[in-house]
């Protein structure tokens, strides 16, 4: 565990929220140090004199002090849904423009709208009008495909939603009553009702050197590298994977890009997984995976029942599959 990055965070900070969102998307685990803003730990201030969260200290001592740098670093480790839009220059330019608008003018107006009493001489209504103009523009973009860029989420969606949420918190009724914001309201609702939101908003006591040393996410554990993993696959999907060298199916009927990870199981979980998803399928294969040969992050995440399942946050190299066995229909695994 000592080689895990160390994250200094504060639950309600929108900059820290978007950083945690990226860590979840990338399938990473970090040592989690929740900060009490009135009593910031000295270890954090030694690492970063700026004194604000998030701060990520990597195993080699590198310090990431800006939330966008942290988000990009996480997604450079693993980006199953291509949130960075690698290979698409136009999309990357659109993302950069959205981030600049959010972290610049929109944040300026948000602060003076939500915390008007902190800015004497500023007219709250002026900042509401200016911020609303930006929100309406974003809402128009979301109306085109459901997300800020197109039909799939991107880094921009993950970086902006905590600040749109802050705007709504300032006056929920006013935000919800604005007709032009209907697409943006639906977008925000999808994000805050997603399982990732509950996970990134988990609570923790302020960190101290002698106290508990939790991980983020708190409902996940590392996947041991010396225990085989298993995945049930349809013959046609495995055949297609062998032609290109990588397998990209999350579970039956869903791709890695759609889900964000590939579902795996430990041996004792196979029977229930098969009964639930594959019992009526023909030509099912059991793939035995050597986790030591997998490059993408592996993280065991809790499902709704609380049971932990290993998830692979990237494509599965066919070379990491050590054994392939056919599963007869109705077999008891």
pLDDT tens digits, 255-292: 999 999 999 999 999 999 999 999 999 999 999 999 99
What mean pLDDT is reported for the chain?
96
**List of domains in the chain:** 6-81+197-216 (3.40.30.10), 89-195 (1.20.1050.10), 223-327 (3.20.170.20)
Residue 186: per-residue pLDDT:
98
Look at residue 81 in the predicted model and tell me its pLDDT.
97
Give the pLDDT score at 2.
60
For 242-299, the DSSP string reads: HHHTEE-EEETTEEHHHHSSEE-B-GGGHHHHHHHHTTT-SSEEEEEE-GGG--S-EE
Residue 14 in this model has a pLDDT that exceeds 50: yes
Could you tell me if 137 and 184 are in contact, meaning their C-beta atoms sit under 8 angstroms apart?
Answer: no
Determine the average pLDDT of the residues in 103-131.
97
Instruction: Provide the pLDDT for residue 194.
Output: 95
Q: In the chain, pLDDT over 90 holds for what percent of residues?
A: 96
The b-or-e profile of 186-223 (16+ CB within 10 A means b, else e) is: ebbeebbeeebbebbeeeeeebeeeeeebbbbeebeeb
Per-residue pLDDT, 1: 43
Answer yes or no: is pLDDT of 89 > 80.
Answer: yes
Residue 197 has pLDDT above 70, yes or no: yes
Residue 110 has pLDDT above 70, yes or no: yes
Give the residues across from 265 on adjacent strands: 230
Supply the pLDDT for residue 58: 98
pLDDT in tens, 37-69: 999 999 999 999 999 999 999 999 999 999 999
């Amino acid at each position: 565990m000592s080689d895990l990055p160390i994250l200094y965070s504060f639950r309600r900070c929108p900059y820290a929220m978007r950083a945690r969102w990226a860590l979840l998307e990338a399938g990473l685990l970090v040592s989690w140090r929740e900060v009490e803003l009135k009593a910031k730990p000295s270890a954090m201030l030694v690492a970063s004199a700026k004194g604000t969260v998030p701060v990520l200290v990597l195993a080699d001592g590198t310090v990431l002090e800006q939330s966008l740098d942290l988000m990009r670093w996480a997604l450079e480790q693993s980006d199953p849904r291509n949130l960075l839009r690698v290979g698409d220059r136009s999309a990357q330019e659109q993302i950069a423009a959205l981030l600049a608008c959010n972290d610049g003018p929109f944040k300026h107006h948000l602060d003076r709208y939500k915390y008007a009493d902190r800015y004497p001489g500023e007219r709250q209504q002026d900042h509401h009008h200016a911020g609303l103009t930006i929100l309406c523009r974003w809402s128009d973009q979301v109306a085109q495909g459901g997300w800020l860029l197109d039909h799939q989420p991107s880094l921009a969606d993950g970086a902006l939603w905590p600040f749109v949420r802050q705007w709504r918190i300032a006056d929920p009724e006013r935000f919800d009553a604005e007709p032009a914001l209907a697409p943006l309201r639906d977008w925000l609702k999808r994000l805050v009702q997603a399982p990732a939101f509950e996970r990134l908003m988990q609570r923790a006591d302020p960190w101290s050197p002698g106290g508990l040393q939790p991980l983020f996410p708190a409902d996940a554990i590392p996947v041991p590298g010396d225990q085989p993993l298993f995945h049930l696959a349809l013959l046609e999907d495995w055949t297609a994977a062998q032609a290109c060298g990588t397998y990209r199916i999350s579970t039956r009927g869903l791709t890695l890009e759609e889900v964000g990870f590939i579902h795996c199981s430990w041996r004792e979980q196979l029977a229930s997984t098969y009964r639930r998803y594959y019992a009526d399928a023909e030509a099912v294969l059991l793939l035995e995976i050597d986790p030591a040969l997998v490059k993408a992050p592996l993280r065991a995440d809790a499902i709704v029942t609380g049971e932990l399942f290993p998830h692979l946050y990237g494509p599965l190299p066919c070379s990491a599959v050590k054994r392939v066995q056919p599963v007869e229909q109705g077999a008891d695994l």
